[in-house]
A and B are shown apart, each in its own frame.
Chain A
Amino acid sequence: MQVVFIEWAFGFLLATLGLFVPIILIASLGGKTRRLAIALIVGSNVMGCIVAALCFWRETTVRLDFSAFSPFPLALGIDRLSAFFLLLICTVAVPVAIFSIEYFDLHYAEKRRNWVWTFFSLFLASMILVVTASTGFAFLIGWELMTLLTAGLILMEGDSTERRHSVFLYLLMMHAGAAAVIGSFLLFLPFSHGLDFASLRSAGSVMPQGIRTMVFLLAFLGFGAKAGMIPLHIWLPRAHPIAPSPVSALMSGVMLKTAVYGFVRFVFDFLGGGPSWWSGYVVLAVGAVTGLLGILYAIAENDLKRLLAYSSVENIGIIFLGLGVSLVLLAHQAPLWAGLALVGALLHAFNHALFKSLLFLGAGAISDSTHTVNLEDLGGLQRRMPVTGLSLLVACCSIAGLPLFNGFVGEWIIFRSLLAGSVLSDTRAQIVLPLTVGILALIGGLAAACFVKVFGVAFLGRPRSAAAEDAQEAPPAMRVGLSLLAAACLGIGIFPGLFLRPLVSLVQTLVPGAGVPLETVSIARILPIAAAIVLGAAMAAGLLKRRERIARTWACGLPGLTTRMQYTSTVFSKPIRFVFSSVYKPNRKVDRLPPDQPYFPASVTYRSVRTTSYEKSIYRPFVELFLSAARGLRRMQTGNIQVYLLYIFLTLVLLLAFLRFQK
């Protein structure tokens, strides 16, 4: 009974998002039908949440087979891992869709809105397809659609040369990644009956070591490119900020997680762990570097959306660090701890989806009301946009990893699994894993500094521009979207137990012998108590009698303070940029005008540009190599038909010779 209901509901979800909504929207141009379509999107995603929750909390597996209607095996299924990621997509999609109602109305002309919503709906459907696919073909269709639809959504926002260049880079990197993913699927083929996940799983354990290593490396490359691992991240800070804010929210919050899903599916589910002892260390090291560099780049940014994009790179780094720890522990036969690390990584993926989409939506609300996302032009927004400000404060606390907010729980679990490295018998792990605590702590500290800057500069103090001075609170539906996400962040932050229990069961299906780690129980018990103590103490202190008077800020006895005397975003990050200057290698330039009066200049301009560039140092040599190879191949293309006939003849001879000598 229940299974039938879930099957129907899931089918309805896919059909609505992928079929009904686009048909309704394309067929009509009126506002009323659009409202119906939006209601369908929100409603079906709520239904998706229920379906995912049912499959995630209770062990229910669902399978839908469409192979009869397609030329290749096309089947969908929800097991616990899929249910977890389906829950992630639908939970974020509901508030984002509610937020978008007013956002798209404000940003697009009547005619274009229907197209934006069509793409939005199809984009959601493609992500659902990716995480619920149970055959390689279904997975790859969703994977490809996801990329193309977001490229469409980015181009719908505007059409400049720079934007096209960024979209081209995005598509290029995504397809390179997809090629690696396809490659790792194909490597399974000689050992499995087909590309459905069940036979891939059984093939994964019988494949020779070399093939397993190849599959692992290709999956790491392919999904790493999609997730934005350094140095494959260069598309991310370019493509994410230029999309419309709700789409940025889905791209950063949700789409990056499909890559995490893919990696977990391949490495933990199909291969049953890394192919050899070093694989975990590789993932751990790349994750640590990505996390550290990502947050260092983020803190130097002044454009809020670019900053958030870099911070996504950082969080992906933390997630992969957790996955790496899990692989290391798995390789050393410590399944209990490996399971703990995997729980931490997956939980952090979910948490990041919540707070990062909240932050991007908040950036959308800010740009809506002030028409800028440059931190240097913002300030004092908390008094003008109290609800937006409060939700963003929750998001900033969460992403900074503070306890009682959700970001802390995942990081804490990863910390504890790192500590477990000291009980292993292997010397390498005994030293590397506990020391990684230091790296994760540094990343966490920098993230806290970064988001003090974001909230402090944008929302507190005096407005730095006329636009910020006149900012208005976001319209009601946007506020609903923001508050829903903020409530979810606080909910998981204070009561993680509800979520951790099914997550532990999920991990038990992926890591044999994982068991229930005591840590997940203890954190679930302590956080509500800590929250109660903090709340009680704050309320008790709040009862103290006090009188309040508004008085001017201390200005060293000068007549008054101006906006220009406030600390800016650039100068806030200056000490950190100074200490880590080897990462940025900044090129500073100070221009004083007029030049003949250096001590009494009329105007001073200062510029500081990061000179380290992945494009120049890593990608350029590859491009050069590729181009010179292409130039070499051009010599073969003479344009003479006899030569081409000769090529055909030679190929034939070679093939015949090959067949003859093969026996």
Chain B
Amino acid sequence: MKIALNILQAILIILGAPLVRGIVARCKAFLQRRQGASIWRPYYDLAKLFRKEDLVPPTASAVFRVVPFILFATTICAVAFVPLLQPAALLASHGDFFLFVYLLAIGRFFLSLGAFDGGSAFGGMGASREALISCLAEAPFLLSFVAIAILASHADIAGMVSWTLQQNFFNVSAVHILAFTSLGMVVIAETGRMPVDNPTTHLELTMIHEAMILEYSGTRLALIEWASAIKLHAMLALLAALFFPWGMASGASVGFVALSLPLYCAKIGLLIILLAVIESGMAKLRMYLVPDFLGVASAVSVLAVIFTFLAKR
């Protein structure tokens, strides 16, 4: 039953990912007083892309061709670390957050390589910008996890979540607030949302993620789009699990699940609205202001780690 629930939540993250994207887009449309597309739009897009043929640049090698599959597979593997309905996941008790972060890094590494293989200027440009953002985001990403791990004295994600679950909601320390802030900023940078990257742009001067996948089409593009939707969903789910785990099923009965699923939907809904408000409320940062943005995230995460020391006393 417990394993079944683990598999169920992994499937939920994977299949629900396009929906999360659709809702974010719809919320943004609402905030910008536009009509907006249906929240099911990303599913139609994926279905259409899966039916189309793949166009491959003449310069491309085998690397270009396998990148989407590696990206998709490693993202799926990272999903197995994210607790959703219960404070456990398929791999969450053996693997720790380092493995989670670095599994996502595999996908990013290969996506940057695929970008180079098109032989145009855009691919290299996207890869170069992505390299800057991801290398600066790595430290705050890990440090905010470290802060929580120190409080929970567990490095595995399941242990961290169950520890938080046992705490009183009104007892949250400064560490949680700081770690949530910095992890939230990192999520924005890592998933390519405003103000770091604009997911809807194709303007040469500003695009980062879109520049890297410019040469992909058909099935391969579908896999990349799906993988980045899964990454967004997994990161939001992780934020919810680490900082607001209350309401997760403590047992594996049907009743618990029936309670935790709507609660999860509410939590992720709030995070989506928060993301949409941030995205609509801020202008995209100039490329060289992004290091400052991540510098703030790093400083906040360092503070979070230092505050764990005070919180323990």
Chain A interface residues (CB < 8 Å from chain B): 380, 382-383, 386, 389, 393, 397, 400-404, 408, 412, 415-416, 419, 422-423, 427, 430-431, 434-435, 437-439, 441-442, 444-446, 448-449, 452-453, 455-457, 459-462, 522, 525-526, 529-530, 533-538, 541-542, 544-555, 561, 565-568, 571-576, 578-579
User: Which residues of chain B have C-beta atoms less than 8 A from A441's C-beta?
Assistant: 138-139, 141-143
User: Which residues of chain A have C-beta atoms less than 8 A from B302's C-beta?
Assistant: 435, 438
Contact: A453 with B308, CB < 8 Å?
A: no
Contact: A525 with B94, CB < 8 Å?
A: yes
User: Which residues of chain A have C-beta atoms less than 8 A from B155's C-beta?
Assistant: 416, 419
Chain B binding surface SS class: helix
- Chain A nearest CB from B290 CB (Å) reads 9
Q: Does B120 contact A (CB under 8 A)?
A: yes
Contact: B139 with A546, CB < 8 Å?
A: no
Contact: A403 with B106, CB < 8 Å?
A: yes
User: CA separation between A150 and B140, bound complex, in Å?
Assistant: 42
Q: Are A553 and B94 also in contact (CB < 8 A) when A567-B116, A567-B121, A575-B128 are?
A: no
Contact: A461 with B53, CB < 8 Å?
A: no
User: Which residues of chain B have C-beta atoms less than 8 A from A430's C-beta?
Assistant: 309
**Which residue of B has the minimal Cβ distance to A401?**
B102
Contact of A553 among B72, B119, B135 (CB under 8 A): B119
User: Which residues of chain A have C-beta atoms less than 8 A from B74's C-beta?
Assistant: 534
**Which residue of A has the minimal Cβ distance to B306?**
A431
Contact: B127 with A576, CB < 8 Å?
A: no
Contact: B94 with A526, CB < 8 Å?
A: yes
- Chain B nearest CB from A382 CB (Å) reads 4
Q: Does B157 contact A (CB under 8 A)?
A: no
Contact: B61 with A572, CB < 8 Å?
A: no
Contact of B55 among A438, A551, A555 (CB under 8 A): A551
User: CA separation between A287 and B40, bound complex, in Å?
Assistant: 52
User: Which residues of chain B have C-beta atoms less than 8 A from A579's C-beta?
Assistant: 132, 136, 288, 291
User: CA separation between A461 and B291, bound complex, in Å?
Assistant: 28
Contact: A460 with B69, CB < 8 Å?
A: no
User: CA separation between A522 and B136, bound complex, in Å?
Assistant: 29
**Which chain B residues (6-57) contact chain A, with CB distance < 8 Å?**
50, 53-57
Contact: A572 with B73, CB < 8 Å?
A: no
Q: Does B218 contact A (CB under 8 A)?
A: yes
User: CA separation between A136 and B77, bound complex, in Å?
Assistant: 51
Contact of A551 among B57, B109, B306 (CB under 8 A): B57
User: Which residues of chain B have C-beta atoms less than 8 A from A461's C-beta?
Assistant: 59, 116-119, 123-124
Contact: B142 with A438, CB < 8 Å?
A: yes
User: CA separation between A565 and B53, bound complex, in Å?
Assistant: 27
Q: Does B283 contact A (CB under 8 A)?
A: no
Contact of A535 among B73, B127, B218, B309 (CB under 8 A): B73
Q: 23 A-B Cβ contacts within 8 A?
A: A380-B59, A402-B102, A412-B102, A423-B153, A434-B150, A438-B140, A438-B142, A441-B143, A453-B131, A457-B116, A461-B124, A462-B59, A529-B94, A535-B73, A538-B72, A541-B69, A541-B73, A548-B54, A553-B215, A554-B122, A567-B123, A572-B128, A575-B131
Q: Does B269 contact A (CB under 8 A)?
A: no
- Chain A nearest CB from B165 CB (Å) reads 21
**Which residue of B has the minimal Cβ distance to A538?**
B73
- Chain A nearest CB from B187 CB (Å) reads 16
Q: Does B271 contact A (CB under 8 A)?
A: no
Chain B interface residues (CB < 8 Å from chain A): 50, 53-59, 61-64, 66, 68-70, 72-74, 76-77, 80, 91, 94-96, 98-99, 102-103, 105-106, 108-109, 112-113, 115-125, 127-129, 131-132, 134-143, 146, 149-150, 153, 155, 214-215, 218-220, 223, 287-288, 291, 298, 301-302, 305-306, 308-309
- Chain B nearest CB from A438 CB (Å) reads 4
User: CA separation between A550 and B117, bound complex, in Å?
Assistant: 13
- Chain B nearest CB from A390 CB (Å) reads 8
User: CA separation between A553 and B214, bound complex, in Å?
Assistant: 9
- Chain A nearest CB from B126 CB (Å) reads 9
Chain A binding surface SS class: helix
**Which residue of B has the minimal Cβ distance to A445?**
B135
User: CA separation between A229 and B244, bound complex, in Å?
Assistant: 45
4 new A-B contacts at CB < 8 Å, known A431-B309, A457-B116: A446-B135, A461-B118, A534-B74, A579-B291
User: CA separation between A408 and B57, bound complex, in Å?
Assistant: 32
- Chain A nearest CB from B21 CB (Å) reads 19
Q: Are A553 and B105 also in contact (CB < 8 A) when A412-B99, A438-B302, A567-B125 are?
A: no
User: Which residues of chain B have C-beta atoms less than 8 A from A455's C-beta?
Assistant: 113
User: Which residues of chain B have C-beta atoms less than 8 A from A437's C-beta?
Assistant: 139, 142-143, 146
Contact: A460 with B131, CB < 8 Å?
A: no
User: Which residues of chain A have C-beta atoms less than 8 A from B301's C-beta?
Assistant: 438
Give the top 4 A-B pairs by smallest Cβ distance, nearest first. Answer: A567-B124, A445-B135, A456-B116, A449-B131
- Chain B nearest CB from A300 CB (Å) reads 13
User: CA separation between A585 and B301, bound complex, in Å?
Assistant: 28
Contact: B109 with A537, CB < 8 Å?
A: no
**Which residue of A has the minimal Cβ distance to B95?**
A526
Contact: A448 with B109, CB < 8 Å?
A: yes
Q: Are A403 and B102 also in contact (CB < 8 A) when A435-B305, A456-B113 are?
A: yes
**Which residue of B has the minimal Cβ distance to A579?**
B291
User: CA separation between A526 and B90, bound complex, in Å?
Assistant: 11
Contact of B77 among A419, A534, A546 (CB under 8 A): A534
**Which residue of A has the minimal Cβ distance to B226?**
A541
Contact: B131 with A404, CB < 8 Å?
A: no
**Which residue of B has the minimal Cβ distance to A421?**
B150
User: CA separation between A522 and B72, bound complex, in Å?
Assistant: 25
**Which residue of A has the minimal Cβ distance to B129?**
A575
User: CA separation between A369 and B138, bound complex, in Å?
Assistant: 37
Contact: B146 with A567, CB < 8 Å?
A: no
User: CA separation between A342 and B237, bound complex, in Å?
Assistant: 36
User: Which residues of chain A have C-beta atoms less than 8 A from B150's C-beta?
Assistant: 419, 422, 434
User: Which residues of chain B have C-beta atoms less than 8 A from A536's C-beta?
Assistant: 73
Contact of A566 among B54, B98, B121 (CB under 8 A): B121
**Which residue of A has the minimal Cβ distance to B121?**
A565
User: Which residues of chain A have C-beta atoms less than 8 A from B135's C-beta?
Assistant: 442, 445-446, 448-449, 576
- Chain A nearest CB from B206 CB (Å) reads 14
Q: Are A544 and B109 also in contact (CB < 8 A) when A460-B61, A549-B56, A550-B56 are?
A: no
Q: Are A400 and B94 also in contact (CB < 8 A) when A419-B146, A530-B103 are?
A: no
